[in-house]
Structure 1
């Protein structure tokens, strides 16, 4: 298993070490982990990555990820889409679990918790027919 730990004295860097890895260190900037989490969250939730904000609090063995994002909802005048839509709370819980699983795999260490804060609603853009 690969372990990612904060390196003392290195600033905003993370050291990756584990069995089967060559001797030495691989440093991953915290910003890389943050951008990776932002893109994964945007992909899973279904919004533009520029609207997603992520904070990562890490310890030796795990990480906690805090995500703030708008959440996609159907246009209210599209009654069929509204009826067919998954309730926001259910969709948010599913996204939270999927994000935790994906980030655990991408980071190479346990993500113990994902806190998801929905900051607003994001409706799809109307398409104009010319």
Structure 2
């Protein structure tokens, strides 16, 4: 039998070893889960991972994730982009749902909740034409 155990505070789960898989224990540090969640959140939201902060709170077989991140918005002087943009609340709800699905798949456990706190806004940099 193989037991997969995350570090304290993240929980554990057990699985039966399949053919050719060694029995044993796999420990995953909290920091690895946190960094993985930060990268996934940055990718889904569309911002630099340096500005994203994630906290993972674990229960027996599930985890809740708290994400704090700036949110991308179009440049306000680009009228066409502003009119075409998805409203922030709608985009944030879609990001929460996608993040929950992706983290459940990556962590191999149910993510019961994703709380997203928008800490600011980021606009794309103007590109200079030479």
| Structure 2 partner of 1:108 | 108
| Structure 2 partner of 1:18 | 15
1:18 offset after TM fit, Å?
Answer: 1.1
**1:31-65 CA distances to partner (integer Å, 9 max, x unpaired)?**
00000000000000000000000000011200000
| Structure 1 partner of 2:87 | 87
8 Å CA contact 2:37, 2:54 repeated in 1: yes
| Structure 2 partner of 1:52 | 52
1:129 offset after TM fit, Å?
Answer: 1.1
| Structure 1 partner of 2:118 | 118
8 Å CA contact 2:12, 2:61 repeated in 1: no
Counterparts in 2 of 1:3 and 1:84: CA distance versus 1, 3 Å: farther
Structure 1 runs of 4+ off > 3 angstroms?
A: 2-7, 11-16
1:23 offset after TM fit, Å?
Answer: 2.3
Is 1:29 aligned with 2:29? Answer: yes
Q: Find the residue that maps to 1:34 and give its secondary structure.
A: helix
8 Å CA contact 2:5, 2:28 repeated in 1: no
| Structure 1 partner of 2:67 | 67
What RMSD over aligned residues (CA atoms) do the two structures have, in Å?
2.1
Ranges in structure 2 where 5+ consecutive residues have no aligned partner: none
Q: How many residues align?
A: 126
